[in-house]
């Protein structure tokens, strides 16, 4: 248990300890060793799904204090099953937040490695990759100028989540497909990403 708490502190101090993809992988593997893995426990998967639904899929940010408290409570409980997945996700979020606040560009090597780890681990444990992982993976690859790989991540995500507005937006930006554009304009004109990218 002490090792897991130490791992949590390592996650919280991410920018000090994990500056590269290799470092994040090493930290993730250490956290995973201390985690209780349970393929039938969907608490962490549901948190990732809720985070996606309330932050990315909804028209506006719908995160509530209750949701944030639930995430914090789950992340701080060493008995949480599959905690390593949630901690890596939170490390990723922290990296994005810190670089954004500092006005810096996120480290794409870190982003790509974190998303690769999350994609593989969620697929292995849950048999399915959450939509938010496809979105973040595509953003990381795009930020690293790996346009074809980013497009492939969006396409794969849309196969599994055909109603995902963020994935539709990225697909439209990649393809300029008029059918996709019409769907976004007609069915999601007030979605924050449709507005942000000026899709009309």
Residue 4: both structure tokens together: 């897991």
Stretch among 4-13, 150-159, 160-169 having the lowest mean pLDDT: 4-13
Give the domain extent around 93. 2-196
Q: What percent of the chain has pLDDT over 90?
A: 67
Inform me whether the pLDDT recorded for 15 exceeds 80: no
Query: What's the chain look like in SS3?
Result: CHHHHHHHHHHHCHHHHCCCHHHHHHHHHHHHHHCECCCCCCHHHHHHHHHHHHHHHCCCCCCCHHHHHHHHHHHHCCCCECHHHHHHHHHHHHHHHHHHHCCCCCCHHHHHHHHHHHHHHHHHHHCCCCHHHHHHHHHHHHHCCCHHHHHHHHHHHHHHCCCCHHHHHHHHHHHCCHHHHHHHHHHCCCCHHHHHCCCC
Considering the entire predicted model, what is its pTM? 0.88
Residue 92: both structure tokens together: 């990723």
Predicted confidence at residue 98, as pLDDT, reads 84
Instruction: Centre a 10 Å sphere on the Cβ of residue 22 and count the other Cβ atoms it contains.
Output: 12
Query: pLDDT band at 19, cuts 50/70/90?
Result: low
Query: pLDDT band at 16, cuts 50/70/90?
Result: very low
- Nearest residue to 151 via CA among 139, 161, 166: 139
Question: How many domains does the chain divide into?
Answer: 1
pLDDT in tens, 92-101: 988 888 888 8
pLDDT in tens, 106-143: 888 999 999 999 999 999 999 999 999 999 999 999 99
């Amino acid at each position: 248990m002490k090792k897991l708490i130490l791992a949590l502190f390592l996650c919280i101090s991410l920018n000090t300890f994990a500056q590269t993809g290799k470092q994040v992988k090493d930290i993730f593997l250490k956290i995973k060793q201390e985690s209780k893995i349970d393929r039938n426990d969907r608490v962490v998967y549901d948190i990732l799904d809720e985070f996606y639904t309330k932050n990315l899929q909804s028209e506006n940010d719908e995160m509530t204090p209750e949701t944030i408290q639930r995430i914090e409570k789950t992340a701080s409980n060493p008995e949480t099953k599959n905690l390593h997945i949630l901690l890596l996700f939170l490390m990723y979020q922290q990296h994005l937040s810190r670089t954004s606040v500092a006005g810096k560009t996120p480290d794409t090597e870190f982003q790509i490695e974190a998303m690769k780890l999350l994609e593989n681990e969620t697929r292995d444990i849950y048999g399915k990759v959450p939509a938010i992982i496809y979105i973040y993976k595509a953003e990381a690859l795009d930020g690293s100028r790996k346009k074809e790989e980013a497009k492939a991540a969006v396409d794969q995500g849309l196969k599994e989540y055909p109603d995902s507005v963020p994935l539709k937006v990225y697909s439209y930006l990649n393809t300029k497909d008029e059918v996709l554009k019409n769907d976004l304009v007609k069915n999601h004109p007030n979605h924050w990403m449709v507005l942000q990218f000026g899709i009309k």
